[in-house]
């Protein structure tokens, strides 16, 4: 695909103009990333208004650099930063974000993550392997006779949605509502969002919170063997989660627990089919499956941009940042950095332990990474083994959502 018409690179000034909603970019960002790598590891993205880093070394280091974080209002006031007061119409959404571990720094982040992390360590997640396999088989059972399907809706979406709902203890029949609320809420992170999108996100937040408050109350009086029940009674450093923290944590886990994994599954199937690789070889052994999944996550990551704030004055080479300045870490570009990966645009499962950054890094490293990896390692072999003639029925197209990089539909036949 040619470079986007909206792309303008000033290599000397290290400034880039690029519309993230340019179809030539979000349908295939990798030629643009190659051009950016050729120009240098960092640039000022004019449309976003902050410095972005696309080199693997820089992105990996900045994820772990404690001079940067997801929050800055614990070290400076809005007045000191020159920020306006929050928009009143976003108050319900902001109230949930205020207790989200993704948006917090230590010590609050440490306490929340400690409480939740016990459910997502690898030994706990491994117990879900039979359930993931059974669910994948159930889904293929439903579509096998048809000879064709749209895999995002029929396979990639149900697996992570049902699993995270079951893990939390939320009724599976709530999945359609959870999906609707989640899609409207995560639209808040997209470039150039509209007032209509903001209003939809707020309404979804209010519905989500109302449902969870009722559900948490039921779990308080009738505990079960699920994560919500465990979080109600769990303690870290002698403290329990407040109800607002519990609600925000559940929303974060439900949203983050499926959104990226849906894209990861869809992107992986697309990549395998387009590359013409032999699925039987890719997933021949547990070790081969693990290596293949890591390479698939590198090759077409489901998330392409995370941001951080400078929590103190920082100099990065000749780039000077003041407190509150935002930076962009470009995961998808870092994963295709030719300075780190030989032949980066090749899907090569035999690549020696690719240190991709698809799950982020540092204290905000994706808490659900073990679960996402297991879902891919188990579900993909089931899909390809059950449907050995799987092929693309039409060229897949990606959603107009640069941050969340995933195909909007994956029409296949067998």
Confidence (pTM): 0.95
* Residue-level pLDDT at 258: 84
Distance CA 51, CA 316 (A): 11
Distance CA 37, CA 58 (A): 12
* Residue-level pLDDT at 89: 97
* Residue-level pLDDT at 236: 59
* Residue-level pLDDT at 117: 86
* Residue-level pLDDT at 172: 83
Fold of 8-413: Cytochrome p450 (1.10.630)
* Residue-level pLDDT at 257: 79
* Residue-level pLDDT at 237: 62
Distance CA 118, CA 125 (A): 10
Q: Are 26 and 400 in contact (CB under 8 A)?
A: yes
CA 304 to chain centre: 8
Mean pLDDT by 10 residues, the chain (414 residues): 92 97 96 97 97 97 98 96 96 96 94 86 88 98 97 96 91 89 91 93 97 93 90 76 92 88 97 97 96 97 97 97 98 97 95 88 95 97 97 96 93 98
Q: Are 67 and 310 in contact (CB under 8 A)?
A: yes
* Residue-level pLDDT at 369: 94
* Residue-level pLDDT at 120: 83
Task: Tell how strand 306-310 and strand 319-321 pair up.
Answer: unpaired
* Residue-level pLDDT at 115: 87
> Which are the contacts of 201, defined by CB distance < 8 A and separation ≥ 6?
93, 184, 185, 187, 188
Q: Are 111 and 236 in contact (CB under 8 A)?
A: yes
Domain ranges within the chain, ordered by starting residue: 8-413
* Residue-level pLDDT at 121: 80
Phi, psi of 45 (to 5 degrees): -90, 110
CA atoms within 13 A on the CB side of 33: 27
Nearest CA-CA partner of 232 in 242, 165, 164: 242
């Amino acid at each position: 695909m040619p470079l986007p018409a909206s792309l303008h690179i000033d290599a000397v000034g290290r400034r880039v103009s690029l519309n993230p909603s340019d179809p030539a970019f979000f349908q295939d960002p990798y030629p643009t990333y190659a051009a950016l790598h050729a120009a240098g590891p960092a640039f000022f993205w004019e449309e976003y208004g902050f410095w972005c880093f696309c080199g693997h070394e820089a992105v990996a280091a900045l994820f772990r650099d404690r001079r940067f974080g997801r929050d800055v209002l614990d070290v400076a006031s809005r007045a000191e930063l020159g920020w306006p007061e929050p928009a009143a119409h976003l108050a319900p959404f902001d109230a949930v974000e205020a207790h989200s571990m993704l948006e917090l720094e230590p010590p609050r982040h440490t306490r929340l993550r400690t409480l939740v992390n016990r459910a997502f360590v690898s030994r706990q997640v491994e117990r879900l392997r039979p359930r993931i396999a059974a669910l994948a088989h159930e889904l293929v059972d439903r579509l096998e006779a048809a000879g064709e399907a749209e895999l995002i809706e029929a396979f990639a979406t149900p697996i992570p949605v049902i699993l995270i709902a079951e893990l939390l203890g939320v009724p599976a029949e709530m999945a359609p509502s959870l999906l609707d609320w989640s899609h409207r809420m995560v639209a808040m992170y997209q470039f150039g969002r509209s007032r209509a999108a903001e209003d939809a996100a707020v309404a979804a937040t209010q519905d989500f919170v109302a449902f969870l408050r009722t559900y948490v109350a039921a779990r308080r009086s009738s505990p079960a063997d699920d994560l919500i029940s465990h979080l109600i009674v769990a303690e870290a450093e002698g403290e329990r989660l407040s109800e607002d923290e519990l609600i925000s944590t559940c929303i974060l886990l439900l949203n983050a627990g499926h959104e990226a994994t849906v894209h990861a599954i869809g992107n992986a199937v697309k990549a395998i089919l387009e590359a013409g690789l032999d699925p039987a070889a890719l997933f021949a052994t547990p070790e081969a499956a693990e290596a293949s999944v890591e390479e698939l996550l590198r090759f077409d990551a489901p998330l392409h941009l995370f941001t951080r704030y400078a929590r103190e004055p920082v100099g990065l080479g000749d780039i000077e940042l003041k407190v509150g300045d935002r930076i962009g870490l470009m995961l998808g570009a870092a994963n295709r950095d030719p300075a780190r990966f030989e032949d980066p645009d090749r899907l090569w499962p035999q690549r020696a332990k690719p240190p991709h950054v698809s799950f982020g890094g540092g204290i905000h490293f994706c808490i659900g990474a073990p679960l996402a990896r297991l879902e891919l390692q188990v579900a993909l072999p089931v899909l390809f083994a059950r449907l050995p003639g799987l092929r693309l029925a039409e060229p897949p197209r990606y959603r107009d959502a640069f941050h969340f990089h995933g195909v909007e539909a994956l029409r296949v036949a067998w």
